[in-house]
Chain A
């Protein structure tokens, strides 16, 4: 890849490190699971309706944005507790590889988002078979 040649092994390393430092208190918190075929990201998003959640995928980054819905204001006569957070959020997560945006599946069930991000076919590592030539036998 040209980017690799220009910027070294991992051009996003510094960005990722900065992101790690900043993101500790960010909403939503995410968990990331991997295997050789892709990544699964989960996030706790209570009070976020699927129509209020926006997922943007670009190469190897995922951006989640949306709004934690506030209920209709009934006739409230004062709060005893008010701990739940509300309002808009934006969070970008870097992935270890490029994903195929056409195969991404997103599920929002009981306030938990599960994002299934398969690795792009052209980004998967390939095994190269070495053909042994007859002349180059061991001495």
Chain B
């Protein structure tokens, strides 16, 4: 995660908590989001979606698994260099039924990334299909190729 880790002041007698590596999760299950973005006003579970991020010729592509998020329930913002993804998921218990067995919890998805370099905010293309977000973020034109010639002083 590109989010800076919050350092918690240890209370007296508390052991130093081990930092868990969240950047490369090994488990198949859902990863609960840390509430380091402040307290939420509504009681809701929030998970960190699994993502792929790769470079292309023109920019950056972010692919995120967001099962249960409709295109209307998705919010993508880029402020300064922080890209935020928030997907709202509806509660899944059908009416008139009671839960018999639960293997996964239902909650919203949230994740933030700090982008390096300049990107063209207006050129971002977002696509939702089969519960997968596909974000194409082009590099800002002025930042695309600016080669500085180094002259050798003889």
Counting chain A CB atoms within 10 Å of each CB, the highest count among B69, B92, B98, B100 belongs to B100
Among B55, B70, B97, B131, contact of A35 (Cβ-Cβ < 8 Å): B97
| Contact, CB under 8 Å: A46 / B66 | yes
A81, B23: Cβ atoms under 8 Å? yes
Judged by a CB distance under 8 angstroms, whether B94 is at the interface is yes
Given contacts A31-B104, A33-B99, whether A25 and B66 have CB atoms under 8 Å apart is no
Is A74 a contact partner of B56 (Cβ separation < 8 A)?
A: yes
- Inter-chain CA distance A19–B53, complex, in Å, is 35
Please tell me if the beta carbons of A85 and B98 are within 8 angstroms of each other in the complex: no
- Minimum CB–CB distance for A17 against chain B, Å: 14
Minimum CB–CB distance for A38 against chain B, Å: 9
CB-based contact B69/A110 at 8 Å? yes
- Are B132 and A96 touching (Cβ within 8 A)? no
Q: Are B98 and A34 in contact (CB under 8 A)?
A: yes
Residue ID in chain A nearest B27 by CB atoms: A25
Q: Is residue A98 contacting chain B, with contact meaning CB distance below 8 A?
A: no
Contacts of A69 in B (CB 8 A): 130
CB-based nearest A residue for B57? A75
Closest B residue, CB atoms, query A86: B52
Query: With A48-B130, A74-B56 given, is the CB distance from A111 to B66 under 8 Å?
Result: yes
In A44-72, which residues have CB < 8 Å from any B CB?
44-49, 69, 71
Bound-complex Cα distance A46 to B100 (A) = 23
Beta-carbon contact of A49 and B54 below 8 Å: no
Query: Is B138 engaged at the interface, CB distance under 8 Å to the other chain?
Result: no
Most chain B CB neighbours (cut-off 10 Å) among A26, A85, A111: A111
Q: A77-B56, A78-B54, A83-B24 are in contact. Are A44 and B98 (CB under 8 A)?
A: no
Query: Is the pair B29, A25 in contact by a Cβ cutoff of 8 Å?
Result: yes
Min CB gap B88→A, angstroms: 11
- Bound-complex Cα distance A77 to B60 (A): 10
Query: What residues of chain B lie closer than 8 Å to A81, measured between beta carbons?
Result: 23, 51-53
Name A74-104 residues within 8 Å CB distance of B: 74-85, 96
Among residues of A, the one whose C-beta sits closest to the C-beta of B128 is A110
Give min CB distance, B126 to chain A, whole Å. Answer: 14
Extra contacts besides A81-B52, A110-B66 (10): CB < 8 Å: A33-B93, A33-B98, A34-B97, A45-B130, A47-B65, A74-B56, A76-B54, A81-B51, A85-B28, A112-B92
18 A-B contact pairs sorted by A residue (CB < 8 Å): A29-B103, A31-B99, A31-B106, A32-B99, A33-B100, A34-B98, A34-B100, A35-B96, A40-B94, A40-B97, A42-B92, A74-B56, A80-B53, A81-B23, A82-B54, A85-B50, A108-B130, A112-B67
